[in-house]
Chains A and B, each alone.
Chain A
Amino acid sequence: MSPAPTVGMAIPERQHYCDEVQQMLYNASLWNGHRIHFDMPYATEVEGYPGLVVAGPLMGDWLHQVVDEWLGDAGMITGIEYSNRIAAYVGETVTAGGTVTAYDEATGEVALEVFVKNERDEVLTPGVITATLTSAS
């Protein structure tokens, strides 16, 4: 992590392209057989989605990653609260990012408002992450 956190500071964003192979490997790694993630006729004709749905917890993972990369070895995520509000679909590129909302220098505790948004700037997955900075620098 480079500069010390200040309230209102935006952390570096990261884009993720939602690719079929990655979806398959992710859901297989969980043992998640839900057809909306890999069966196009089922997802569109039976469930009425515009495409293959990106797994909700994968976007939750991207919330963690954008903060975890910013922290590097200087700290550790201690908690998260998030919800999947709007779906993302295979073929879309989504962006994860966040803003520091609180920082306590004495304890090293930092809070960030985080998001995954789509190309239309809709927030798909809003959340709040707390972390503790461990390295005194």
Chain B
Amino acid sequence: MGFWAIHLDSMGWSIFLGIMFLFIFKKVANGVTTGVPSGLQNFVEMIVEFIDDTVKDTFGHKNPLVAPLALTIFVWVFLMNFMDLIPVDFIPYVAQAMGVGHMKVVPSTDPNITLGMSFSIFALILFYSFKMKGVSGFSKELALHPFNHWAMIPFNLTLELIGLFTKPISLALRLFGNMYAGEMIFILIALLPFWAQWTLSVPWAIFHILIITLQAFIFMVLTVVYLSMAHDTESH
């Protein structure tokens, strides 16, 4: 199939979850009241406020894109990770009954999904680095940092470029690795006889609630931190 193949299962679930997120949040935003918020609005506002606080704490510049970006990342990645908590065989079995042989229901266990997001973020990092620091400023930062001497330029450049490209790769692989390993353990647990599965799957699922939230949070915070670094204009 080559490069132009598309994983319809990951892609479909990913888009479905993203639309779910936007649908719920848009619904709340449409009926938003400044009075006492009802249950769903309260929940949504809690998340929005949490994101807003985190962004205000870590991102010291003015950019109207960052907070909505962080909100989208946090909720979307959380929802994609959350698919991990649905018992591993439920949806694939149903899909199989409907004639689809294989189905991956956790989009974040597909490196294409996590890389797709991290490369988009990488593009934003490059865009804002050039925009805020200018071509010369950004080049200087890459070439003259951490050792400010002309003879050290090749060394600096190697170090900084590796550091720069590591950002999206590590961002994507961290999420992918965590989710893939988690899903793999669920699959291994599912190999046990059905009456013994709960002894392992329940503790692991409870632990996984923490992991999926934490990974979504880390992905979001690192994105904000990287963008904040891209905005930092003062020379070190």
- Do these two chains really belong together in a complex? no
